[in-house]
Amino acid sequence: MRCVFFVSFLLTTASIAGQQAPEVSQAKLFTYGELLRQHNVALTESALTNALKSADADVRYLAAMKLAEDKASDAIPSIRQALEIEKAPRDRVNIALALGLLGDENGGTELKKVCRDKSFVPEFRLYAVRYTLDLHSKDDTDCLTAAREISVSPTATVADRVAALSLLTQFGSLTPSELRKTSAVMQESLGDPEPTVRMAASNGLAGLGATSAVPFLASAIAKEKDENVRAVFKADLARLQGGGPH
């Protein structure tokens, strides 16, 4: 048995010091059943199947995930039907994940389709990337490409670029060619206008163990004007050179 820790990088926010007391909060983890009960949905298979047609978008995907958690294989046709007519991007990927968890190949196929779809909302396209990794899909090339595209996309938000760079370190067994391509976009991101993205790129290169990027990171340290970013670059360079914690 092992424990998987989801490490949140987070915390945006600003405002001038002294104007208001900070409100610090943590995200809470809810089971699908807990959230469905908050929406007054019973947890029987028939109630969950009906909830796939709910007007509430959250209820639709939560019902699909609860059915997957309950291993309700006989609900697969209803979940497929729900996916076919689903328009909300978050629901599309979450319902596809539910199908994938139930062993239905339509789930993985839909997630890869979303990965290929450059017009899909980047935040949820990255969900598809993450879920494809969760499902241990054998061919995740489309999703690897999607994460690379989003990490250097000028139209993606800062949060999406950071998330994409983080996901890029999670693809196992990259071919030398894929490793070069992934390392290249991370090196490109070392020059991103946003400091948080530059730090994520540096973390990514260290996480990838891309020793070929050492000269690029050294050069980025020399050019970097932000003291905090430079400190992160230096720590990651030390990791890459084997002199720091992994």
Partner 1 sequence: MATFIIGQGFQPSVHEGNTYVPVGPLLVGTQNEFLDQYSESSNVSLLNYYGGGNSCAQTCSQVYTNVCGQSILNHSFTVTYTKSTISGTPVTLVTVSE
Helix (H) or strand (E) holding 79: helix 76-85
- Check residue 231 for interaction with partner 1 (CB under 8 A): yes
Q: How many residues bind partner 1 (CB under 8 A)?
A: 56
- Check residue 87 for interaction with partner 1 (CB under 8 A): no
Is the CB of residue 111 less than 8 Å from the CB of residue 135?
yes
Quick one: which of 41, 48, 51, 62 contacts partner 1 (CB under 8 A)? 62
- Check residue 5 for interaction with partner 1 (CB under 8 A): yes
Distance CA 176, CA 27 (A): 38
Minimum CB separation of residue 235 from partner 1 in Å reads: 10
Is the CB of residue 201 less than 8 Å from the CB of residue 236?
no
Minimum CB separation of residue 110 from partner 1 in Å reads: 15
**18-51 burial, b for 16+ CB within 10 Å, e for fewer?**
eeeeeeeeeeeeeebbeebeeeebeeeeeebbeb
Residue 9 vs 53, nearer CB to partner 1: 9
- Check residue 130 for interaction with partner 1 (CB under 8 A): yes
Minimum CB separation of residue 60 from partner 1 in Å reads: 12
Piece of the chain touching partner 1 by CB under 8 A; list 75-83, 108-116, 125-133, 145-153: 125-133
From residue 136 to residue 165, the character string flagging contacts with partner 1 as x (rule: CB under 8 A) and all else as - is: ----------------------x-------
Nearest residue to 200 (alpha-carbon basis) of 232, 241, 244: 232
With a CB cutoff of 8 Å and minimum separation 6, the contacts of 28 are none
- Check residue 85 for interaction with partner 1 (CB under 8 A): no
Piece of the chain touching partner 1 by CB under 8 A; list 10-18, 72-80, 109-117, 140-148: 10-18
Half-sphere exposure of residue 112: CA atoms within 13 angstroms, side-chain side: 14
Is the CB of residue 90 less than 8 Å from the CB of residue 76?
no
Greatest C-alpha distance within the chain: 62
List of residues contacting partner 1 (CB under 8 A): 1-18, 20, 22-32, 35, 38, 58, 62, 65, 69, 94, 97, 101, 126-127, 130-131, 134, 158, 194-196, 199, 226-229, 231-232, 245
